[in-house]
Amino acid sequence: MSMVKIWSMKKSQDAAAKKKPKTSAAQIRVQKDLTELELPKTMTTTFPNPEDLLNFTLTLTPDEGMYQGASFDFSFNINNNYPHEPPKVKCIPKIYHPNIDLEGNVCLNILREDWKPVLNLNSVMVGLQYLFLEPNADDPLNKDAAEDLKRDREGFMRNVKNSLRGGTVKGETFDRVFVTSR
């Protein structure tokens, strides 16, 4: 084989290698986290682009508590500093919850000051599920919802049910997220 032919083969291999993005440490860790996920039947993940493990949707469908019967999608956006930085998680539908504001920001300690690289995606998903079982009025993002929960639990539960059906609470109209009627 001539040197020119070997050289041109090497060049085309280099070009192919450049086209294929290098797998980052974050991608490798996310792949490991996803492989180890032990999701309950109340959670599913969806990857709009199967090539992109750093951006996906988690669908959470609580089977107990005040939010039972509804379905919530959360977008997960993981940057290349993962696991040194937590994933960015947003609630896609507009919901009435003390720990989730109207823009979908989520107040979960492990997504902020309590994040540690030993935590994984499973920890975050379990944390999100817990927010629907035990909304925390002491660490609110939606102060109105938190005040309702503290002052009048029954009224809060009525507001939750109304909001899940796409109703209006205190002048805000919420997205319909009920999947089953109760």
Which residue, chain included where needed, has tokens 């009224």? 155
The separation between the first and the last C-alpha atoms of the chain, rounded to the nearest angstrom, is: 75
Residue type, 81: N
Is 39 in contact with 61 (CB distance < 8 Å)?
no
- Selection from 112, 69, 66 nearest residue 89 by Cα: 112
In whole angstroms, what is the distance from residue 2 CA to residue 64 CA? 71
Give CA–CA dist 61/101, Å, rounded: 19
Which is the catalytic residue, given 43, 107, 131, 141? 107
To the query of whether residue 91 is one of the catalytic residues in this protein, the response is no
- The SS3 of residue 153 is helix
* Neighbouring residues of 178: CB distance < 8 A, sequence distance ≥ 6: 69, 70, 71, 164, 165, 166
Partners of residue 32 on adjacent β-strands? none
> Which residues does the annotation mark as catalytic?
107
